[in-house]
Amino acid sequence: MTTLVEIEEAVANLAHHDQRVLLQWLQDRLKNAEPGAPDTAEWLAELAELRARTGTGVPGTPIDEIIDDLREERT
């Protein structure tokens, strides 16, 4: 099972008791999960650091232009 639809279909085919066991397991798992969305400022700082580490320093065509060109070629 790789898609949410497949998972939902499989759950729907479970016996009622097994669905309750699964629900309890999911609730327990979510209670222990880290709350909220990731910190955007922290994520942007990590992205900037990654760009700095992996950049070549050689000027070139911006990725947006490359993507636009590829999209135009498909049409």
pLDDT digit string, tens, across residues 23-54: 999 998 888 877 776 678 888 888 888 888 87
pLDDT tops 90 at residue 21: yes
Determine the pLDDT at residue 70.
Answer: 86
Instruction: Say if pTM beats, i.e. exceeds, 0.85.
Output: no
Examine residue 14 and state whether it is found in any structural domain, yes or no: yes
The SS3 assignment for 10 reads: helix
Confidence of residue 17 (pLDDT cuts 50, 70, 90): very high
Mean pLDDT for the chain? 83
Examine residue 30 and state whether it is found in any structural domain, yes or no: yes
Domain count, the chain: 1
Instruction: Say if residues 14 and 23 touch (Cβ distance below 8 Å).
Output: no
Determine the pLDDT at residue 51.
Answer: 80
The SS3 assignment for 19 reads: helix
Residue 72 CA to residue 75 CA, distance in Å, equals 5
Examine residue 25 and state whether it is found in any structural domain, yes or no: yes
